[in-house]
Amino acid sequence: MIAVILALIFLTGVAAVCFLNIWVIEKADDYVISAEEAKELNADCIIVLGALVYPDGSLSDILRHRVMTAVELFNLGASDRLLMSGDNSRENYNESAAMKAYAVKLGVPSEKIFQDYAGFSTYETMYRARDVFRAKKVIIVTQKFHISRAVYLARSLGLEAYGAICDRGTYQTEFINNLRETGARVKAVYSAVFQPKPTYLGDAIPISGNGDDTDIQE
């Protein structure tokens, strides 16, 4: 009897996880767009979500492809602002600064690029894009495995959000990324419903201003 009960609990849990994953994907699906569609949006900003930066300051493939795609959308006229959101919680590790430096190298004017140092999660990035940077219409650039959750969370916070997929081949961590995302989508539903405040908020930095004002002053 105990084994039967445990099996039913397990199967119920699996069904719930599957249902919530399908829910998040379907809720976001209509807002995942092509570059051609993105260039017609005139969004407030293009949000680039952070990922691994190596000790020498170079970007991992996942992050490099995000920035490259965002720059291409910028050049197409999808928006005239980039918001680089990443982790700067540790000394000598700054995702957003490395992302901005790479985008500048690709030709984007520095003042058009904003840095969000407290983008510790996808949810916190979207919350801060709305409340700190005062964005309303955004294009989110990330990989296919991540795009549904990012768009779902942004829209749950009231942003007019669209997603642009940046995959340029396969990644060594693809299996792990997809496995992790299964659980992350479940957590995303919790965040969308209860909308906890992010780790940091702070004063407003309107995305319509000068991105260089968000640079860390040495």
């979500």: which residue's tokens?
A: 49
Q: Could you write out the three-class secondary structure of 139-159?
A: EEEECHHHHHHHHHHHHHCCC
Q: How many domains does the chain divide into?
A: 1
Four-CA torsion 49, 207, 137, 40, nearest 10 degrees = -90
- The three-state secondary structure class of 82 is strand
Structure tokens at 152: 């779902």
Report the 10 Å Cβ neighbour count for 143: 21
For residue 191, tell me if it sits in a domain.
Answer: yes
For residue 10, tell me if it sits in a domain.
Answer: yes
For 161-207, what is each residue's pLDDT tens digit? 999 999 988 888 888 888 899 999 999 999 999 999 999 998 999 99
Question: Based on the number of CB atoms within 10 Å of its own CB, is 34 exposed (0-12), middle (13-18) or buried (19 or more)?
Answer: exposed
Domain that residue 111 falls in? 2-207
For residue 218, tell me if it sits in a domain.
Answer: no
pLDDT score of 4: 67
pLDDT score of 146: 95
For residue 215, tell me if it sits in a domain.
Answer: no
Structure tokens at 148: 């549904």
For residue 121, tell me if it sits in a domain.
Answer: yes
User: Which residues in the chain show pLDDT less than 70?
Assistant: 4, 7, 10, 217-218
Question: Are the CB atoms for 185 and 191 separated by under 8 Å?
Answer: no
Nearest to 205 by CA among 192, 215, 217: 215
For residue 14, tell me if it sits in a domain.
Answer: yes
CATH no. for residue 24? 3.40.50.620
For residue 83, tell me if it sits in a domain.
Answer: yes
pLDDT score of 92: 82
For residue 23, tell me if it sits in a domain.
Answer: yes
